[in-house]
Amino acid sequence: MGGRARVGRWTHVGETGAATVAPIMIEEFFLRALIAGAGVAAVAGPLGCFVVWRRMAYFGATLAHGALLGVALGLLMGIDPMFGIAASSILIALIVAGLQRQRTIGSDTLLGILAHAGLAIGLVTLAFMHGVRIDLMGYLFGDVLAVTWADILWIYLGGSAILATLALIWRPLLAITLNEDLARAEGVAVAPIQLAFMLILAIVIAIAMKVVGVLLIVSLLIIPAAAARPFARTPEQMAALAAVLGALSVVGGLFASLAWNTPAGPSIVVGATILFTASFTLGGALGKRTA
């Protein structure tokens, strides 16, 4: 483990002092990183489609920024920071849901206040914790190379519960996304469905933090979904394709990190961005050809 730098760099210092790739040392790290990243991508893809359709990227960013407050709460309470992140994200989701109908402050202003307040309070709280060693860069940008099998178990159990919940609310949530007033007229319980979606999105933020960090989590939600959009004919196709593209981003980003000694989390996001650029360019070319 001594050959792995913080923020997920695949390096090993040899006898000559040069940084070289050490396949034996990193084989298990690589496997665990791939498994964890693929699990997060499988969950983030379908959820990210609704984030894109409902234009909730800023809401996702608010939850992600507030996750650092959850890290501080978890450390203060002596529990796994992941549970603290889940608690703080759910709390922010409940606050947003409760204040949605007020007209005094615009929703984008409210989200901005919550996002930056949560991030700032989290950072200040962590600064006061002198007796605790904190890998702040790991929390901010992820450290997928440091995932344990326990983390992977948490990702897959939590992800399975999230996907099962999403499957249950898929049709009513899709109806609300298409036309909220019509869905309400047809008897859809709009408020509970919206709240359920916010809560499962909050939990995704918690389980994805280890892979790309609190500052890059939203990118794993929206970029694969946006990349899948030009090639999907149905919402279900877009959700499945987003999960596949997210997994490809993880694999490509991790291999790039291995080859060029770059931070793993940001490399995954760069991989997703490259896929989106290719998708956008190819989708536009195909659209012009068929027009």
Alpha helical stretches, state H, 179-263: 180-185, 190-212, 217-228, 235-260
Higher pLDDT, 80 or 47: 47
| Average model confidence (pLDDT) across the chain | 85
What is the predicted pLDDT for the residue at 8? 47
pLDDT in the model for residue 28: 85
Predicted confidence at residue 272, as pLDDT, reads 96
Statement: residue 1 has pLDDT above 60: no
What per-residue confidence (pLDDT) applies to 175? Answer: 96
CA torsion, ordered 106, 107, 113, 114, to nearest 10 deg: 150
Confidence tier at 7 by pLDDT (50, 70, 90):
very low
Domain at 4-290, CATH homologous superfamily: ABC transporter involved in vitamin B12 uptake, BtuC (1.10.3470.10)
Condensed to tens digits (0 to 9), the pLDDT of residues 211-255 reads 888 778 899 999 999 999 999 999 999 999 999 999 999 999 999
Beta-bridge partner residues of 4? 10
Domain-wise residue ranges, the chain: 4-290
74 touches 82 (CB < 8 A): yes
Residue listed under structure tokens 């507030």: 66
DSSP β-bridge partners for residue 12: 20
CA distance readout (Å), 167 to 36, 118, 173, 236: 22, 31, 10, 11
Q: Which of 40-44, 78-82, 132-136 has the lowest mean pLDDT?
A: 132-136
Q: Map tokens 């989106």 to a residue.
A: 276
> Within 54-148, where are the H helices?
57-77, 81-99, 107-127, 136-141
Kindly report, residue by residue over 128-184, the tens digit of the pLDDT.
Answer: 887 777 777 888 888 888 899 999 999 999 999 999 999 999 999 999 999 999 999
pLDDT of amino acid 287: 62
**Is 4's pLDDT higher than 60?**
no
Q: Are 223 and 272 in contact (CB under 8 A)?
A: yes
Q: Are 291 and 241 in contact (CB under 8 A)?
A: no
Q: Cα(34)–Cα(131) distance, rounded to whole angstroms?
A: 33
180-215 pLDDT tens trace: 999 999 999 999 999 999 999 999 988 888 788 877
Structure pTM?
A: 0.85
8 A C-beta contact, residue 240 and residue 43 = no
Residue range 111-121: average pLDDT? 90
